[in-house]
Chains A and B, each alone.
Chain A
Amino acid sequence: MQSSNGRARGDGDGSGDSAESQEDPGAVSRDARYEDPWYDALATGWGELDGTGIPARAVPAARREHDAADVRARDVYLEVQRSEAFQEVRSGYRRFVVPGVAAFLTWYVAYVVAATTAPGLMARPVVGAVNVAMLAGLGQFLTTFLFTWAYARHARLRRDRAALELRWDTQELTRGAQGGAS
């Protein structure tokens, strides 16, 4: 775990090392619920797990070494997906992206619909030759740049480090699971 942390810093360009990013991913991944790949692999799970497909495949897979390794690699992903560290990365991503996409799509569609259905409103002059339509159009440019900046900042501060740690951990687990097969 320590080595992967060090690597995360080494690979980054330093921008991810701000105070904000220290709190969330660090604590969670160190607690490493998925350190043992067999931890509670299939017995529990989410309510949505349909319980038929996955466990059924785990049994015949024992036939051959290679198949077994593949199945174990599959389990690693399920396991990581359920880990708290990953849940945090995912919810961090979704919490930003879902409202963000909703906001800019609404704003854009509103702009296009207004431009086509309410030209009178859009033609209203503001300053000199500049009218509402011109301001709205340039406003779209401005908000696009702002959204871009906000997204990049959010990803850099809230996601990058945790995601990188998860990446090394997951790869280590997959390698371990595949064992001699690879």
Chain B
Amino acid sequence: MTGDHQMLALLLFSGFVAVTLGITTWVSRRRQGSAEEFYAGGRLFSSMENGFAIAGDYMSAASFLGVTGLIALFGYDGLLYVVGFLVAWLVVLFLVAELVRNCGRFTLADVVAARMSERPVRIAVGTSSVTVSVLYLVAQMVGAGSLVALLLGRTSGAAQAWTVIGVGALMVIYVSLGGMRATTWIQIVKAVLLLSGTVALTVLVLVRFHGDFDRLLVTAAERSGHGSAFLAPGLKYGGSWTARLDFISLGIALVLGTAGLPHILSRFYTVPTARAARRSAVWSIGLIGGFYLMTIVLGFGAAAVVGPDVVSRSNAAGNTAVPLLALDLGGGAGSTGGTVLFAVVAAVAFATILAVVAGITLASSASVAHDLYASLRRRHVKARSEVAVARIAAVGIGVVAIALGLLARDLNVAFLVGLAFAVAASANLPALLYSLFWRAFTTRGAVWAVYGGLIPALGLVLLSPVVSGSPDSLFPDVDFQYFPLQNPGIVSIPLGFLAGWLGTVTSDEAADEAKYAETEVRSLTGAGAA
């Protein structure tokens, strides 16, 4: 690692920061401070803009760095991740995007609480939304730390810590000053940067192999030392039955979790109609699908060009596969091309982390202010002060995320994301789907659905090998591991749905027929939508 990389990467990244800060000030210059504007950007984005912004929100550093690294190290098993990430969008498109746009105003809780007794439902859904966001945030923060370790060529704790703190501070500035409008534009800029960077690298990989995908695969398989087993499932998740079950659990969590991610759902409020929401989902599926197809090429490319041994020596989790690949494709360490490409990729990855982090912070500050604060405070809160609370909440969430990001520095990024998806699928999705589609669903059902998914999901992770009982755990010295799987989804998702059903059938209050009629009519026609 020469000084050139670092200088150029830092320069490019500073450029991105400057541009985004410019956007933030430009946007907040004429803000009126209404809740509509802060949470939903005035609902005036076009479906294409929102499609890019959704893609920007979703294509996290975990996919760009984590998943390509998994493919580079474990071959096909990394690809399984990518498929789950993409197929999940069908759930969003079919069941959630339009209906949520029509029924809600700012947050996920709006949709569920519309039919129910508001306070308990808002508190429950708000709590689980914040939990999901914080887990996801920590994953992004860890990614930022591990990236800078590579960028500066040393794994010094201080450099990583300062990166985490810097990223946290920037995201707080974006969100609290710029609200949804600034965040959306940052996502769009980042999505364009990330996609262009990925396209460029993919083209270079394919050129290296003369456009022969088959040869790329063969070379990757040879270089990996696993032979053709590298191209088939089983290297990472194929061992014990526990490992296999763990992967099935993760796969289900990925597919069902996306539709419960608060920062994704809140994106649909930034467009004027349900039809625009659908179109933005279609846009984002196209962009995300294309992106993931390219990450497959990049992952196998990193295995073929750089080699899994080099990748895992640089970062055991494989998070640095793509930057190393860029260095090699540009002509190797020390060459101008390598320096430039490496710097570009590092800067793009940084931009990715920053933008995703801002999106999640915004969604969780909306949950705190619009759901938790407004419900926990008895007297009526005016819209103006709610936005002020949201800005303060963004600062608070930033601090929590920085602290946890420093704590969880050495965990694999992709695993943390899987966990966030599991919680979203177990707690948010049952409540959301039941309230949209089940006539008899009641307040107790909604509250039970959320806590019945949230508590098992978090509890099982606490009892899993992730936290204790194995050398890679957070606390390797103690052992209170009773649940064998790393991802709780396969147990906690059915539990969430079961709890929602149980709460509904045992509640003595009957569901309000007229409120359900309102939800159904509004969700499918858009009548009365904000």
Check A128/B526 contact, CB under 8 A, given A81-B517, A134-B76, A147-B90.
no
Choose among A125, A127, A144 the residue that contacts B90 (Cβ–Cβ < 8 A).
A144
A-side contacts of B159, CB under 8 Å:
none
Choose among B233, B526, B528 the residue that contacts A174 (Cβ–Cβ < 8 A).
B528
A-side contacts of B275, CB under 8 Å:
155, 160
Contacting pair B233 A122 (CB below 8 A): yes
Per-residue A-contact encoding for B271-287, CB less than 8 Å = 1, 0 else = 00011001100100110
Interface membership of B520, Cβ < 8 A: yes
Q: Which of B116-124, B247-255, B308-316 contacts A (4 or more CB under 8 A)?
A: B247-255
Contacting pair B282 A89 (CB below 8 A): no
Contacting pair A144 B89 (CB below 8 A): yes
Choose among B83, B215, B237, B247 the residue that contacts A140 (Cβ–Cβ < 8 A).
B83
Interface membership of B293, Cβ < 8 A: yes
Contacting pair B247 A116 (CB below 8 A): yes
Interface membership of B403, Cβ < 8 A: no
Per-residue A-contact encoding for B188-231, CB less than 8 Å = 1, 0 else = 00000000000000000000000000110110010000001101
Question: Of A49, A111, A115, A163, which is in contact with the most chain B CB atoms at under 10 Å from its CB?
Answer: A115
CA A176 – CA B524 in complex, angstroms? 21
Contacting pair B525 A86 (CB below 8 A): yes
Per-residue B-contact encoding for A45-84, CB less than 8 Å = 1, 0 else = 0001110111000000000000000000011011011000
**Chain A min CB distance to B96 (Å):** 11
Interface membership of B23, Cβ < 8 A: no
CA A24 – CA B524 in complex, angstroms? 16
Interface membership of A100, Cβ < 8 A: yes
Q: Which of B56-64, B139-147, B472-480, B507-515 contacts A (4 or more CB under 8 A)?
A: B507-515
Overall SS of chain A's interface: helix
A-side contacts of B247, CB under 8 Å:
112, 115-116
Interface membership of B292, Cβ < 8 A: yes
**Chain A min CB distance to B71 (Å):** 11
Contacting pair B248 A152 (CB below 8 A): no
A-side contacts of B238, CB under 8 Å:
116, 119
Choose among B87, B512, B526 the residue that contacts A144 (Cβ–Cβ < 8 A).
B87
In the complex, the chain B residue whose C-beta lies closest to that of A58 is B514
Check A148/B285 contact, CB under 8 A, given A166-B525, A170-B527.
yes
Contacting pair A89 B231 (CB below 8 A): no
In the complex, the chain B residue whose C-beta lies closest to that of A103 is B90
In the complex, the chain A residue whose C-beta lies closest to that of B228 is A123
**Chain B min CB distance to A156 (Å):** 8
CA A48 – CA B513 in complex, angstroms? 9
A-side contacts of B94, CB under 8 Å:
97, 100-101, 147, 151
Question: Which residues A15-63 have CB closer than 8 A to chain B?
Answer: 48-50, 52-54
CA A86 – CA B510 in complex, angstroms? 24
In the complex, the chain A residue whose C-beta lies closest to that of B218 is A129
Contacting pair B248 A113 (CB below 8 A): yes
- Sorting the interface of chain B by its residue count into under 10, 10 to 19, 20 to 34 or 35 or more gives 35 or more
In the complex, the chain B residue whose C-beta lies closest to that of A105 is B255
Check A116/B237 contact, CB under 8 A, given A74-B518, A81-B520.
yes
Check A151/B93 contact, CB under 8 A, given A119-B232, A171-B528.
yes
Contacting pair B525 A140 (CB below 8 A): no
CA A130 – CA B527 in complex, angstroms? 50
Contacting pair B214 A130 (CB below 8 A): yes
Question: Of B255, B510, B517, B528, which is in contact with the most chain A CB atoms at under 10 Å from its CB?
Answer: B517
CA A116 – CA B473 in complex, angstroms? 24
CA A141 – CA B79 in complex, angstroms? 11
A-side contacts of B526, CB under 8 Å:
163-164, 167
Contacting pair A108 B87 (CB below 8 A): yes
Per-residue A-contact encoding for B66-83, CB less than 8 Å = 1, 0 else = 000000000010011001
Interface membership of A7, Cβ < 8 A: no
Contacting pair B83 A170 (CB below 8 A): no
A-side contacts of B252, CB under 8 Å:
109, 112
A-side contacts of B514, CB under 8 Å:
54, 74-75, 77-78
Per-residue A-contact encoding for B495-524, CB less than 8 Å = 1, 0 else = 000000000000000101111011011101
A-side contacts of B255, CB under 8 Å:
105, 108
Contacting pair B248 A116 (CB below 8 A): yes
Contacting pair B233 A90 (CB below 8 A): no
Contacting pair A171 B527 (CB below 8 A): yes
B-side contacts of A151, CB under 8 Å:
90, 93-94
CA A48 – CA B524 in complex, angstroms? 21
In the complex, the chain A residue whose C-beta lies closest to that of B219 is A129
Interface membership of B469, Cβ < 8 A: no
Check A112/B80 contact, CB under 8 A, given A53-B513, A163-B525, A171-B528.
yes
Contacting pair A90 B232 (CB below 8 A): no
Interface membership of B439, Cβ < 8 A: yes
The 4 closest A-B pairs by CB, nearest first: A123-B232, A170-B527, A129-B217, A119-B234
- Between-chain CB contacts (< 8 Å), 15 pairs: A53-B510, A53-B513, A77-B514, A105-B91, A108-B255, A112-B84, A112-B252, A115-B233, A123-B234, A129-B214, A141-B289, A141-B293, A151-B93, A166-B521, A167-B525
B-side residues, CB < 8 A to A, are 76, 79-80, 83-84, 86-87, 89-91, 93-95, 98, 214-215, 217-218, 221, 228-229, 231-234, 237-238, 244-245, 247-248, 251-252, 255, 274-275, 278-279, 282, 285-286, 289, 292-293, 296, 439, 510, 512-515, 517-518, 520-522, 524-528
Other A-B pairs, 14, CB within 8 Å; known A123-B232, A129-B218, A167-B526: A54-B512, A78-B514, A80-B521, A81-B517, A93-B524, A105-B255, A112-B251, A115-B247, A133-B76, A133-B231, A134-B231, A144-B285, A170-B528, A171-B527
